[in-house]
Structure 1
Amino acid sequence: MNVSARQFRDAGFVDQVGEALRTPGLAPGSLRLELTETVLLRRDTQIQAVLHALKDLGVHIAVDDFGTGFSSLRSLRDFPSTY
């Protein structure tokens, strides 16, 4: 599922994802949120907190448009290990 930068930065985003996961039959591991590299590579504690909260929910993160900006494989070290 594609997630916009605006959605991702919304204060209630993690709660909305958690609520959706409470829908019967939706396993957390089956949900993959796709975010652009520009959102993920910002050095921002709020972004890191959201990523960790999503990891705790069991949600997977996919990086869209990776390599189109100034990122490198080295920059992936900053993500929680299961993303």
Structure 2
Amino acid sequence: MTVDALQHGKAHRDALFRRYVDLRRLAEGSEDQADHQQVAEAYRDFLRSHLARDERAILDLEDEITRLRAEVARLRRLHTGAAA
């Protein structure tokens, strides 16, 4: 890996960390769940920036599987509720 690539990676991680810190500060006194969700997502993005590309891809796929399972469960509830 070149020095430029390493510096770029560090700059990217630093920017993600600053985003997380800024969002956390803004959400500190907030009772809005969306504000805290943004903080959690920013922290997740920062942590994942330290992983290798294939490791990030695996976690992204696991997130998508979780999202799809939740959607299937929601649709089942709608279907069984409509059938009852």
Q: TM > 0.5 between the two?
A: no
Q: Indicate the structure with greater strand content.
A: 1
Structure ID, larger Rg: 2
Q: Indicate the structure with greater helix content.
A: 2
TM-score, structure 2 as length reference: 0.29
Whose RCO is larger (CA < 8 A, sep 6+)? Answer: 1
